[in-house]
Amino acid sequence: MVIKRTGISLPEEVLDQIDRLISKLNIPSRSRAISEAIMRYVTDWSWLLEEEEKKVMGALTILYDHTARDIMGRLTKIQHHYLDEIVTSVHVHVTHDTCLEVIIVKGAISRIRSLVNEFEKISGIKCVRFALTGIQ
């Protein structure tokens, strides 16, 4: 494997967290940790490089603050626009304010990408994660 050097700028807090993880996980270097993080990002998003109409299936996991203004209504409304893509969903009340929603999806890459984008636009969403795999 050819290794190339590049320079990146990161917020101090992020570097501090990386350094704490490096020490906890016994990772040999900062470069190794950052490289693994980038590879995970590339793996997570590589399905986007496939053809738009290719079918994927998997789970979207959304963590959000249910007290944020109209968040429940917005989440529900978006999901009703993707009836053909949403197979099922599970809602878990995590803490007094935080909810976790796991949504199983199946459909064309273009539609799933658009669904993920709509969720990411909502304020009050703490994170949207997904694990998708090609099915065709």
Q: Which residues bind Ni ion (CB under 5 A)?
A: 93, 99
Element (H, E) at 95: none
> Least separation, in Å, of the C-beta of 58 and Ni ion?
22
Closest-by-Cβ residue to Ni ion is: 99
Q: How far apart are CA 14 and CA 40, in angstroms?
A: 16
Q: How far is CA 120 from CA 39, 74, 102, 135, in A?
A: 22, 12, 15, 24
> Nearest approach, Cβ of 107 to Ni ion (angstroms)?
25
Would you put residue 70 in left (φ > 0), alpha (ψ -120 to 50) or beta? left
**Distance between CA 120 and CA 127 in Å, rounded?**
8
Of 89 and 114, nearer to Ni ion (C-beta) is: 89
Nearest CB to Ni ion, comparing residues 35 and 67: 67
Nearer to Ni ion, 43 or 67 (CB): 67
Q: Which residues pair with 106 in a beta bridge?
A: 57
Q: Which residue has the tokens 């906890």?
A: 24
Q: Toward Ni ion, which CB reaches closer, 19 or 97?
A: 97
Rounded to the nearest whole angstrom, what is the least distance from the CB of residue 132 to Ni ion in the complex? 24
CB of 125 vs Ni ion, minimal distance in Å: 13
